[in-house]
């Protein structure tokens, strides 16, 4: 019997659990609970060329254009051809996407798409509906280990043979497996304003870095233009589908911010975000004007509830206060088209992984599709690969030894203030070098995760991610997509 460990409970981790054969021994490990993930928060939808007149070829072209042609073309072809088949399979299993009055699937429009190809479920709650549905199909014999942190990978004889965990009781254990799958999400909480779930702190990327596993495209962080903000704090995403439905970006005087930009309010996200940041720097406040959208509350029930919960008077003013913030990470652990990493028997799927499908700038609503496709490919590859030789199926308890190395870490608030200013939406070589010089004061790379508190481990992991982003950004010969460097 093949034994598999999945790290992460979002769509990618949950879906691969349903794709593996029924006789596998599977454990899903998640830092909090099965409902805590970016997938559960995804509003916009899932892109697929299923409508008449659309085609995988056009979806491929849109993805490449948005990604500034930095994408891996084979990964994009795989995404747009396999993705629709997997969505059809989910519909056949009972997944309910929104439909028109005649029963046909309803397709929305988002930035940089030439066709209406965005499927939604429960309006603006697609990620939650899809992930919840997939989780409902997970076999009862699959084990869940919630409130459990993965501290390290078990690497023996050049292979990944499992993980080191700290469970909810604080006990540190080694858990062995034939195959380990990282589906731990991105690094959104490296920045002070983010749409990401609170659990998303770059843990999988830090695991890979500590074990010399290859990474890719670390410079490319996507900042979403429209985060609901009040008193400079983020209270969730305002989905791009709202602009697809007719909303426009304005300032406090009603000036149309994107009026002189190609594709206007539906330009690629990096373009919109930089324009908004420049507008902010002139002293303006930013809003989304929703006055052209009829039946807003019915079309966007999740956003409407969130606005009401935070006392935003959107029904009267027809305006939503917004700011740009961190949303999605295009880089990550380098994988092939089967989600295999550079370490044998270790796979990575979803946002933590990078097979090149998103390029330098992710096309809207491709991320949920990638979760399905990469997980499907990984499951097929694992099914064809023999079990590990001389594997150890036992749990062994580790007692962390005392260390002479005392942790020297920045406060999280100071770290995030600097990341936003120096490795954020607009970068400069001077800022990047200054940021790396500042990071050099701390010893986050020398610390043993087993000896760190959860708080300090999070800061150390974020520091690792920040260093990787800054170094990768500096190494790029020119600005491209989400990596925008002034003067380059």
Neighbour count for residue 456 (Cβ, 10 Å): 16
Q: Which residues are bridge partners to 264 per DSSP?
A: none
Neighbour count for residue 396 (Cβ, 10 Å): 12
CA distance 221 to 231: 24
Annotation says 269 is catalytic: yes
Instruction: Specify whether the CB–CB gap between 131 and 121 falls below 8 A.
Output: no
Residue length of the chain: 488
CA distance to 96, 284, 310, 420, 422, per residue, from 365 (Å): 17, 29, 26, 24, 28
CA distance 112 to 72: 18
**Apex 266 CA angle, 260 and 267, nearest 5:** 65
Pairing mode, strands 332-334 and 353-354? parallel
Residue with tokens 């704090």: 233
Residue with tokens 């940041």: 277
CA distance 158 to 342: 10
Neighbour count for residue 319 (Cβ, 10 Å): 19
Helices (H) and strands (E) in the chain, counts: 15, 20
Instruction: Specify whether the CB–CB gap between 322 and 26 falls below 8 A.
Output: no
- Joined tokens for residue 401: 């030894």
* CA-closest candidate to residue 287, choices 270, 304, 312: 312
* Sheet containing strand 179-182, strands side by side: 143-145, 25-29, 3-7, 179-182, 346-348
Q: Which of 117, 166, 269, 362 is catalytic?
A: 269
Instruction: Specify whether the CB–CB gap between 429 and 379 falls below 8 A.
Output: no
First-last CA distance in the chain: 54
Task: List active site positions.
Answer: 269
């Amino acid at each position: 019997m093949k034994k598999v460990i999945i790290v992460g409970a979002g769509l990618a981790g949950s879906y691969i659990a349903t794709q593996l054969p029924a006789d596998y021994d599977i454990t899903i490990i998640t830092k909090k609970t099965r409902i805590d993930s970016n997938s559960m928060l995804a509003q916009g939808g899932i892109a697929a060329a299923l409508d008449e007149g659309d085609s995988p070829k056009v979806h491929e072209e849109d993805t490449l254009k948005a990604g500034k042609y930095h994408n891996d073309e084979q990964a994009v072809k795989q995404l747009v051809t396999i993705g629709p088949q997997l969505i059809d399979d989910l519909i056949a299993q009972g997944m309910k996407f929104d439909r028109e009055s005649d029963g046909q699937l309803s397709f929305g429009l988002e930035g940089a798409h030439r066709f209406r190809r965005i499927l939604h479920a429960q309006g603006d709650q697609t990620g939650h509906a899809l992930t919840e549905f997939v989780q409902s199909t997970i076999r009862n014999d699959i084990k869940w280990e919630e409130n459990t942190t993965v501290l390290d990978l078990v690497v023996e004889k050049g292979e990944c043979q499992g993980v080191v965990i700290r469970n909810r009781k604080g006990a540190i254990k080694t858990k062995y497996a034939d195959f380990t799958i990282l589906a731990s999400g991105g690094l959104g909480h490296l920045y002070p304003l983010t749409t990401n779930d609170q659990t998303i702190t770059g843990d999988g990327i830090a695991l890979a870095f500590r074990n010399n596993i290859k990474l890719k495209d670390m410079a490319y962080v996507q900042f979403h233009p429209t985060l609901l903000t009040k008193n400079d704090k983020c209270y969730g995403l305002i989905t791009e589908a709202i602009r697809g439905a007719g909303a426009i970006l304005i300032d406090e005087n009603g000036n149309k911010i994107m009026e002189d930009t190609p594709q206007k309010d539906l330009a690629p996200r990096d373009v919109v975000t930089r324009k908004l940041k420049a507008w902010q720097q002139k002293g303006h406040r930013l809003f989304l004007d929703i006055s052209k959208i009829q039946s807003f509350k019915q079309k966007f029930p999740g956003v409407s509830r969130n606005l009401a919960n935070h006392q935003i008077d959107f029904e009267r003013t027809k305006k939503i206060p917004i700011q740009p913030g961190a949303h999605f990470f295009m880089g990550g652990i380098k994988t092939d088209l089967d989600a295999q990493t550079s370490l044998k028997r270790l796979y990575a799927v979803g946002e933590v992984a990078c097979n090149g499908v998103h390029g330098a700038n992710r096309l809207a609503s491709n991320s949920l599709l990638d979760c399905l496709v990469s997980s499907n490919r990984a499951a097929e590859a694992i099914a064809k690969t023999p079990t590990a030789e001389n594997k150890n199926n036992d749990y062994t308890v580790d007692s962390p030894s005392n260390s002479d190395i005392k942790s020297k870490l920045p406060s999280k608030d100071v770290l995030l203030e600097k990341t936003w200013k120096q490795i954020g939406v607009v970068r400069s070589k001077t800022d990047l070098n200054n940021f790396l010089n500042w990071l050099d004061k701390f010893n986050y790379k020398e610390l043993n995760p087993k000896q760190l508190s959860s708080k300090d481990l999070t800061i150390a992991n974020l520091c690792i991610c920040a260093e990787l982003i800054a170094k990768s950004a500096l190494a790029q010969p020119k600005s491209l997509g989400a990596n925008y460097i002034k003067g380059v």
